[in-house]
């Protein structure tokens, strides 16, 4: 057992000094060896980037809304179901899963995915590869996330959007049967 | 900048005092309160100083820091930032783009609310009005439509960025959880907004979506196999709660409308605020200095 270190032993009080020891803190500071040369003023370096990013975002959205007019079909009619009736594009992956199994596709798997996503930082706590894209020490985590989440999400949405026709049958986009109006 | 004060001189302030009523008035003011004329001269500066707690064009490092922590909108951000955090190809600005799109959605959404009526009889005609009789109506709807679709993409890719850079690791675990909630909320907001145009696309998409919620019956059906457990029909319950009936109709429209314009945006904004606050408390955005390779 180490003897408790008294304040005076580390920093003897000296009446000639105008400063003194305030507090002893355990642990290493995250700011250690982070010199001021790596820091810049947020004004103007951060602000100008944020302003430019806003301008770019706004212009892209404005251009899209001028040149790509959002669709508006005929008024809703409960007696005329389209074939196939499709969910919004971001739920077409779900709809694709539902076509295999109603419960597991629509609720079971999505629910597990959300819980799984939230669990990631509590399962993968190893302090390596932070702040780098695709760090080599994290190859396993990166591969699992890509194969289990990113690729299935994107592939299922593309499949449901472009490859599903009447009666949720599989058709290539160039051979999609046209619904008679 | 110091406030200039001048010693009040004797006599009228103007060497050539005005004549008539104006002259009388200004001399009367000067006799009663000689500093009024000085105050008027300093009005622009004092007005600025009363609104902003800092100078508009900070030059020294100290003024630049003060510009951040003396401003309500800027104090959310750090006054000093690591160079690495500014690199575009580290974050691609995806989180900020998501937030900007949320702002655009709020503004365009509030403007759309002036023209929209959540009624089965009127909703679709209001959409036609946007096209024909509302000035810039289609651009307004287009901004809302494209911001919404892009926001879903931006939030998804922001999540991928955070994963691939390991930015969810301690101490940022809980901010990742909030981020997942924000992702789900963004999807739900998109879904509730999808019904509002009340066209064929909207009606049948929501019908399909609500039927997916109805599949939760699977759980209660299996639970009911346990002796003594009643069948709760969870799916039917969820679908009815969402639609206010068996099919998509007026009840569903008003529910989706209230969720879309009031309840969900409020929750989303609250979570965004916590998300931003946690970024600061967890030591700014992630940096390679925090861990070895």
Q: Hey, where are the domains in chain A?
A: 43-67, 89-175
Q: What is the pLDDT of residue B87?
A: 92
CA distances from A67 to A54, A110, B220 (A): 20, 35, 48
Bigger pLDDT: B50 vs A32: B50
The Cα–Cα gap between B113 and B106 comes to 10
Q: Does B111 touch chain A (CB under 8 A)?
A: no
Tell whether B66 is within 8 A of chain A (Cβ): no
User: Are B173 and A121 within 8 A, CB to CB?
Assistant: yes
User: In the A/B pair of chains, how many CB contacts fall below 8 A?
Assistant: 242
Q: Is the pLDDT of residue A32 over 90?
A: no
* pLDDT value of residue A6: 67
What does the domain layout of chain B look like in residue ranges?
86-290
Categorize the per-residue pLDDT at A47 as very low, low, confident or very high, splitting at 50, 70 and 90.
very high
Choose between B211 and A116: higher pLDDT. Answer: A116
* Chain A neighbors of B79, CB-CB under 8 A: 41-43
Q: What would the pLDDT profile of A153-164 be if each residue is shown by its tens digit?
A: 999 999 999 999
pLDDT of residue A26: 67
Whether B290 has its CB under 8 Å from any CB of chain A: the answer is: yes
- Whether B291 sits inside 8 A of A95 (CB atoms) is no
- CA gap A111, B156 in Å, rounded: 17
Q: Which residue has the higher pLDDT, B71 or A35?
A: B71
What is the mean pLDDT of the segment spanning B18-32?
A: 85
pLDDT, position B256 = 96
What is the pLDDT averaged over residues B220-241?
86
The minimum CA-CA distance between A16 and chain B, rounded to whole Å, is: 31
B132's CB contacts (< 8 A; 6+ apart) are none
In chain B, what residues touch A145 (CB-CB under 8 Å)?
163-164
What are the tens digits of pLDDT across the range B174-211?
A: 999 999 999 999 999 999 999 999 999 999 999 988 88
A153: chain B residues, CB-CB within 8 Å = 156
Residues of chain B in contact with residue A71, where contact means CB-CB under 8 angstroms, are 201
Are B146 and A142 an interchain contact pair (Cβ–Cβ within 8 Å)?
no
Contact A118 B61 (CB under 8 A): no
Q: What is the pLDDT of residues B67-93, one digit of tens each?
A: 888 888 889 999 999 999 999 999 999
Q: Flag whether pLDDT at B217 surpasses 60.
A: yes
**CB contact, 8 Å: B78 with chain A?**
yes
The proportion of chain B whose per-residue pLDDT surpasses 90, expressed as a percent, equals: 60
Q: Do B138 and A65 touch (CB under 8 A)?
A: yes
Residue A30 reports pLDDT greater than 90: no
For domain B86-290, give the fold. Cytochrome Bc1 Complex; Chain C (1.20.810)
What's the average model confidence in pLDDT over B156-176? 95
pLDDT of B1 higher than 50: no
Closest CA–CA distance from residue B20 to any residue of chain A (Å): 53
pLDDT one-digit tens code per residue, B265-290: 999 999 999 999 999 999 899 998 88
pLDDT at A33: 52
Q: Which of A39, A50, A54 sits opposite B80 (nearest CB)?
A: A39
Q: What are the tens digits of pLDDT across the range B121-156?
A: 999 999 999 999 999 999 999 999 999 999 999 999
The answer to whether residues B146 and B101 touch, using CB atoms and an 8 Å cutoff, is no
Is residue A2 scored above 60 in pLDDT?
no
Higher-pLDDT residue of B186 and B212 is: B186
SS3 at position B82: strand
For residue A71, the chain B residue with the least C-alpha distance is B201
- Determine, for residues B83 and A38 on separate chains, whether the beta-carbon distance falls below 8 Å: yes
Mean pLDDT value across chain B? 90
């Amino acid at each position: 057992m180490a003897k408790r270190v008294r304040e005076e032993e580390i920093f003897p009080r000296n009446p000639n000094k105008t400063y003194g020891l305030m507090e002893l803190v355990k642990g290493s500071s995250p700011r250690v060896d982070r010199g001021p040369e790596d820091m810049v003023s947020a004004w103007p370096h951060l602000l100008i980037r944020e302003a430019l990013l806003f301008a770019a975002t706004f212009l892209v959205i404005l251009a899209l809304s001028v040149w790509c007019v959002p669709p508006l079909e005929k008024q809703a009619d409960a007696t005329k179901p389209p074939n196939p009736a499709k969910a919004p594009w971001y739920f077409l992956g779900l709809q694709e899963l539902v076509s295999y199994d109603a419960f597991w596709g629509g609720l079971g798997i999505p629910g597990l995915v959300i819980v799984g996503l939230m669990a990631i930082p509590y399962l993968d706590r190893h302090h390596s590869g932070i702040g780098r894209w695709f760090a080599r020490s994290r190859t396993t985590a990166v591969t699992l996330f890509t194969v289990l989440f990113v690729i299935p999400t994107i592939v299922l949405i593309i499949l449901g959007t472009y490859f599903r026709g009447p009666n949720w049958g599989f058709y290539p986009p160039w051979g999609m049967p046209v619904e008679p109006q | 900048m110091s406030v200039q004060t001048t010693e009040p001189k004797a006599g009228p302030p103007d060497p050539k005092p005005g004549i008539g009523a104006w002259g009388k008035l200004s001399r009367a003011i000067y006799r009663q309160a000689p500093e009024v004329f000085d105050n008027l001269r300093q009005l622009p500066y004092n007005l600025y100083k009363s609104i902003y707690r800092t100078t508009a064009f900070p030059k020294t490092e100290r003024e630049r820091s003060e510009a951040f922590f003396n401003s309500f909108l800027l104090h959310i951000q750090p006054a000093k930032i690591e160079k690495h955090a500014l690199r575009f190809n580290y974050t691609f600005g995806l989180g900020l783009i998501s937030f900007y799109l949320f702002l655009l959605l709020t503004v365009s959404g509030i403007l759309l609310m002036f023209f929209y009526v959540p009624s089965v009889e009127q909703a679709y005609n209001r959409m036609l009005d946007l096209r024909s009789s509302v000035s810039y109506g289609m651009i307004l709807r287009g901004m809302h439509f494209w911001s919404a679709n892009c926001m879903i993409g931006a939030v998804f890719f922001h999540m991928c960025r955070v994963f691939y850079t390991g930015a969810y690791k301690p101490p940022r675990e809980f901010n990742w959880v909030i981020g997942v909630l924000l992702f789900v909320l963004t999807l739900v907001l998109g879904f509730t907004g999808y019904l509002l145009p009340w066209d064929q696309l909207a009606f049948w998409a929501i019908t399909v979506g609500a039927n997916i919620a109805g599949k939760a019956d699977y759980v209660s059906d299996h639970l009911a196999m346990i002796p003594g457990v009643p069948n709760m029909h969870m799916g039917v319950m969820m679908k009815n709660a969402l639609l206010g009936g068996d099919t998509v109709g007026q009840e569903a429209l008003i529910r989706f409308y209230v969720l879309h314009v009031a309840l969900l945006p409020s929750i989303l904004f609250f979570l965004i605020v916590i998300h931003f606050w946690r970024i600061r408390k967890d030591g700014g955005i992630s940096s390679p200095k925090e861990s070895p390779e």
